[in-house]
């Protein structure tokens, strides 16, 4: 039908899809959320304009901040742009660089990015940025066990922890989709994603009240292009997590199984559509629940932990 796309180009396309699609997904969530609240809301393309505007602005750094403060946004974005090489974004078959790391490799990169941003925020001396970075680290320590148990579930289901293997297992039969271990792990992962992307019920994404902030507060002291990079980074993180949920757990369909141009382009459209669908769900959740009090977040994390632990349990006895 159409020409074959060379493998390196597909690999590059995976990164480009995530890099360019991320602000759009963020914009869509903002738009849907506003519509649900009866507001007109910003355009879907608003995040692109925001990023462009920030890039033209002057960058200032707090007095006494070192080179690390300025390097952190770059490191974070570089880490986020590496992850799409490791996970199935567009193809069902593993691309050459896809075997550089498994799910844990991806998790390490996410953790690295969040670590450098938190360290840069702690370095500024600004109380709110420091508060955000310490909270972000505290709560990510609480959700870490959930992620580990989700990975255990994947490992028990497939005998490996390569994301491509789980996607292939889920595609293989309806029985694989309906088994409790898979559903419980997916639900737990979704709860972790709500936490990681700073959404209700953990954090108000668009809130301006510093006392409720976790992730959002970390970038307070950055400005200009550096701030733009941090914002873009959090959009990238969101789309990457949505991609993992959709292409590995919930709906690994619509991926290209050949190198044909048509199939690859279709996969790009499918990915954005799936991410948009998850985004709409997230927007509905954002509008229908209240933010949890900070000390109630442990209860939220314990609920997610319960789901992931039960997922591992049910796999024993061969039945899960």
Partner 1 sequence: MSSPGVYEGAANVIAALMLLLEFGMLRQALVRDQVRLYAAQSALVSVLAVVIAADRGLPDLYALAALSALLKVVAVPLVLRRLLGRPVGEDTPGVPGSYTLNPATAVLASIGLAAFGFFSFGNLGIRSAAAPTTALAVAGAMVFVAFGLMIVRRDVASQAIGFFSLENAISLAALVVAAGLPLLLETAFLFDLLLAVVVFAMLIRAQHARAESLSTADLTRLRG
**Cis bond leading into 201, ω under 30°?**
yes
Pick from 95, 81, 76, 72: nearest CA to 19: 81
Interacting span for partner 1 (CB under 8 A) from 99-107, 114-122, 130-138, 169-177: 169-177
Report DSSP state, residue 246: I
Q: How far is the CB of 280 from partner 1 (least distance, A)?
A: 24
Task: Compare residues 57 and 296 and give the one whose CB is closer to partner 1.
Answer: 296
Task: Compare residues 278 and 315 and give the one whose CB is closer to partner 1.
Answer: 315
Task: Compare residues 37 and 172 and give the one whose CB is closer to partner 1.
Answer: 172
Gap between the Cα atoms of 177 and 94, Å rounded: 21
Interacting span for partner 1 (CB under 8 A) from 28-36, 56-64, 107-115, 297-305: 297-305
Q: Using the rule CB under 8 A, which residue among 8, 96, 127, 159 binds partner 1?
A: 159
Q: Is 160 in the site for partner 1 (CB under 8 A)?
A: no
Which x/- pattern over 173-202 shows residues binding partner 1 (rule: CB under 8 A)? xxxx-xxx--xx------------------
Helix ranges (H only) for the chain are 7-36, 46-56, 67-86, 103-123, 127-158, 163-172, 174-178, 180-196, 224-243, 261-288, 297-315
Q: How far is the CB of 201 from partner 1 (least distance, A)?
A: 14
- Please return the burial class of 171, using the count of CB atoms within 10 Å of its CB with bins 0-12, 13-18 and 19+: middle
Which x/- pattern over 256-295 shows residues binding partner 1 (rule: CB under 8 A)? ----------------------------------------
Structure tokens at 233: 């980074």
Owner of token pair 């209240």: 290
Summarize as ranges the residues that interact with partner 1 (CB under 8 A).
156-159, 172-176, 178-180, 183-184, 298-299, 301-303, 305-307, 309-310, 313-320
């Amino acid at each position: 039908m159409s020409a074959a796309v060379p493998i390196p180009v597909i690999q590059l396309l995976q990164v480009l899809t995530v890099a360019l699609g991320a602000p759009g997904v963020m914009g869509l969530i903002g738009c849907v959320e506003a519509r649900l609240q009866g507001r007109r809301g910003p355009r879907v393309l608003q995040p692109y304009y925001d990023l462009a505007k920030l890039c033209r602005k002057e960058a200032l750094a707090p007095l006494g901040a070192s080179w690390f403060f300025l390097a952190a946004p770059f490191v974070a974005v570089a880490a986020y742009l590496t992850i799409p090489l490791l996970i199935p974004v567009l193809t069902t078959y593993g691309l050459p660089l896809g075997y550089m790391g498994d799910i844990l490799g991806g998790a390490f990169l996410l953790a690295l990015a969040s670590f450098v941003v938190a360290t840069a925020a702690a370095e500024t001396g600004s109380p709110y940025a420091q508060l955000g970075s310490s909270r972000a680290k505290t709560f990510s320590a609480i959700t870490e066990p959930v992620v580990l148990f989700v990975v255990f579930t994947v490992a028990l289901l497939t005998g490996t922890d390569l994301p491509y293997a789980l996607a292939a297992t889920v595609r293989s039969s309806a029985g694989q989709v309906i088994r409790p271990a898979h559903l419980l792990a997916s639900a737990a992962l979704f709860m972790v994603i709500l936490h990681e992307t700073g959404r209700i019920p953990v954090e108000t994404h668009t809130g301006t009240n510093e006392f409720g902030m976790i992730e959002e507060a970390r970038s307070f002291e950055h400005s200009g292009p550096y701030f733009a990079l941090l914002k873009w980074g959090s959009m990238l993180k969101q789309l990457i997590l949505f991609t993992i949920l959709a292409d590995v757990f919930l709906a690994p369909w619509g991926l290209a199984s050949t190198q044909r141009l048509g199939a690859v382009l279709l996969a790009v459209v499918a990915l954005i559509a799936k991410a948009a669908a998850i985004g709409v769900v997230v927007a509905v959740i954002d509008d229908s629940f209240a933010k949890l009090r900070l000390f109630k977040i442990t209860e939220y994390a314990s609920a997610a932990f319960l789901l992931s632990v039960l997922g591992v349990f049910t796999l024993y006895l061969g039945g899960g």
